[in-house]
Amino acid sequence: MSDDNIVDFNERRPSDEWKKYTRLAIGIVLFLVILGTIISNLFIVEQGEYKVVRQFGEVVRIEDQPGLSYKIPFIQSVTSVPKYQMVYDVTPAEINTRDKKRMLVDNFAIWKVDDPRLMISNARTIGNAETIMANFIFSTIRSELGQLDYDEIINDEQATRGSFNDRVLEHVNMLLERDNYGISLTDVRMKRTDLPEENEQAVYRRMISERQSTAQDYLSQGDAEANRIKANTDREVQEILATANADANEIMGEGEGAAAQIYNEAFSRDPEFYNLYRTLQTYEKTIDEKTVIVLPADSPYARILMGYID
């Protein structure tokens, strides 16, 4: 082998290696692209959700078991639909009761997707399904409450409130099933019932007037009862005083009688001493510092005062 041939062989060797590395790089890139494509078209079905696989916008299958699944690249897409129960706060609506009173009703609903294929076919999205359900709820509530009086609705003691929610639930589910929306209500409840804002002030004023009238009735009843009690007390006091005065007069009469008897007994024992004692009592009551007495010298008073006692 000549030297020229050896040189040519050495010159071609780097070119062959470059081609080999190029093919290897291309193979790696293709592998990564294929791997990425496969991975990007795998999806996980979580607990509590449906995975809806669509092809050109049409539903081709529903995955409802938790785990790993796949879709065809580029031509299929996957969306999620909740399997668990959801709470929807229905927008407050104004209705008229049987007794022609306007009121605002605020309620909520608990619902779920039973058949995601029907739900997507007829309602398209969760938002549309909630809107349809809310319209059914409003029309049913308006119809049901229109058959009740205002007091029956707001009074928890009325039996009609208990069956009202059940009737709404049953009727709305019947409408949803009839139109094949693939959803159902689990429960529907009234959160509160209010009067329209323009009527609240008038109702408050009427309530205040009624409370004031009731308070005035209580005050009038209290005043009448107080006057009755006071009159009875005054009468009882007069009766007690009259009885006490009668008892006192009787006791005084008995005392005076006893005193007179004692006086008589004392007089009968010593008439002269009794006359002297009564005479001294008379002096005590009739004579003071300014009294001037003129007595004959032979009068008994004079003789006693001058010490002439027989």
Do 62 and 53 touch, CB atoms closer than 8 A?
A: yes
DSSP class of 113: E
Residue at 203 is within a domain: no
22 contact partners, CB below 8 Å, separation of at least 6: none
- Residues of the chain with pLDDT > 70: what percent? 86
pLDDT of 162 reads 56
**Continuous segment of H or E residues that includes residue 282:** helix 271-286
Domain assignment present for 155: yes
Total domains, the chain: 4
| Mean pLDDT of the residues in the chain | 80
Q: pLDDT, tens digit, for every residue of 161-217?
A: 557 788 889 999 999 999 999 999 999 988 777 766 655 566 667 778 888 888 888
> Per the domain annotation, does 257 fall within a domain?
yes
| 163-195 as b/e: b if 16+ CB within 10 A | ebbebbbebbbebbeeeebbbbbeebebeebeb
- 237 and 160 co-located in one domain: no
Q: In this structure, are 173 and 106 located in the same domain? A: yes
More confident residue, 222 or 303: 222
Q: Are residues 264 and 290 in the same domain?
A: no
Q: Which pLDDT does position 39 carry in this prediction?
A: 75
What domain range is 241 assigned to? 213-269
Per-residue pLDDT, 7 = 46
Q: Residue 88's pLDDT is what?
A: 93
Q: Are residues 248 and 279 in the same domain?
A: no
Instruction: Please report whether residue 173 resides in a domain.
Output: yes
CA-closest candidate to residue 171, choices 162, 163, 182, 161: 163
Same domain assignment for residues 186 and 91: yes
Whether residue 80 is contained in a domain is answered as: no
Residues 262 and 275 in one domain: no
Q: What does DSSP assign to residue 181?
A: -
More confident residue, 25 or 84: 84
Q: Report the residue count for the chain.
A: 310
Considering the domain architecture, whether residues 236 and 183 belong to the same structural domain is answered as no
Q: What pLDDT is attached to residue 184?
A: 94
67 and 149 fall within a common domain: no
Q: Is residue 243 part of a domain?
A: yes
- What sign for the dihedral angle of Cα 43, 49, 54, 57? negative
Question: The domain spanning residue 152 has which CATH number?
Answer: 3.30.479.30
- Decide if 255 is inside a domain: yes
Q: Hey, how many other C-beta atoms are within 10 angstroms of the C-beta on 98?
A: 13
User: Does residue 1 carry a pLDDT above 60?
Assistant: no
Helices 271-286 and 197-269 cross at an angle (nearest 10°) of 130
122 with 68, same domain: the answer is no
Residue 310 placed within a domain? no
Q: What mean pLDDT is predicted for residues 226-241?
A: 89
